[in-house]
Amino acid sequence: MLAEGAAQLQAAGIETARLEARWLLAHMAGLQMSDLIMHGRDAVPTEDCKAFRAALARRVAHEPIQHILGTTEFYGLEFLCDARALIPRPDSECVVEEALRRIPADRPVQVADLGTGSGCLLAALLTNRPQAQGRGVEANLAAASLAQENLAKLGLSDRADIFEGSWANWQGWGEADLIISNPPYIASAEIDSLMPEVRAHDPMDALDGGPDGLVSYRQIIRLAAAHMKRGAWLVFEIGHDQREAVSTLLQEAGFAEIDSSKDLGGNDRAVWAQLPNL
């Protein structure tokens, strides 16, 4: 079964074909990955064969494996994952790390996540700052429902809620000590060149950042400059070629302490800034 699955995935252009075949077979058979070694010579039950082949067909069609498995891991936490929101990705973990460096661990703080999607950034912050309270802001009602499910699954609903609406209509700017955001940042003309797993399965409103990919950054920075708490931090995830542009927008809006960091792949991924005290 593993050989059959790996061959199909490889023929479909899936780079990690054998690994993904193992994930799918283990998941559909209700086993751990290590169990596949122990039970490698056992006959696969008929129902598990059917489930595995159905999952293979979905993956061969380039549906993300995270959607097929129904969950994914991010920052050491397990999140429900489906087509309602962007898939949490390891590249975003460095953005969480930079945000955590800017909020204290020993006293209560308020954090907000604009365009929260699955809720992964917000949940990671709250899990690592037990005294923090948080709010996710999400205009896509389907994504907002997924975020609420993830917060409940992780036992965080008592410290966080979801505002269902745009960041332009959100009234909590002046309460947050830190605002984090992974806004849509792909330039519209580049959407068609994305991998089919992204282009055909992620919500378009979470991808399309307008003609230059910077529309959401301009909106958020303008609102933050006008309404954020003085001394609060703004932390962005950015595209690999957007560090200079986003940093310039922050500087022009009057932010200070502007800096950036790279992800594990060596690409620019996080930019942050502080709204200075008067």
Binding residues: 115-119, 138, 167, 182-185
What are the backbone dihedrals phi and psi of residue 136, each rounded to the nearest 5 degrees, phi first?
-95, 140
CA 168 to chain centre: 21
Quick one: tokens of 224? 């933050």
The secondary structure of residue 112, as a DSSP letter, is: E
**CA 227, CA 216: separation in Å to the nearest integer?**
16
Report the binding-site residues for substrate.
182-185
Nearest to 103 by CA among 178, 168, 6: 178
**CA 121, CA 223: separation in Å to the nearest integer?**
20
Quick one: tokens of 55? 């999952």
Report the binding-site residues for S-adenosyl-L-methionine.
115-119, 138, 167, 182
Look at phi and psi of residue 30 and say left if phi exceeds 0, alpha if psi is from -120 to 50, else beta: left
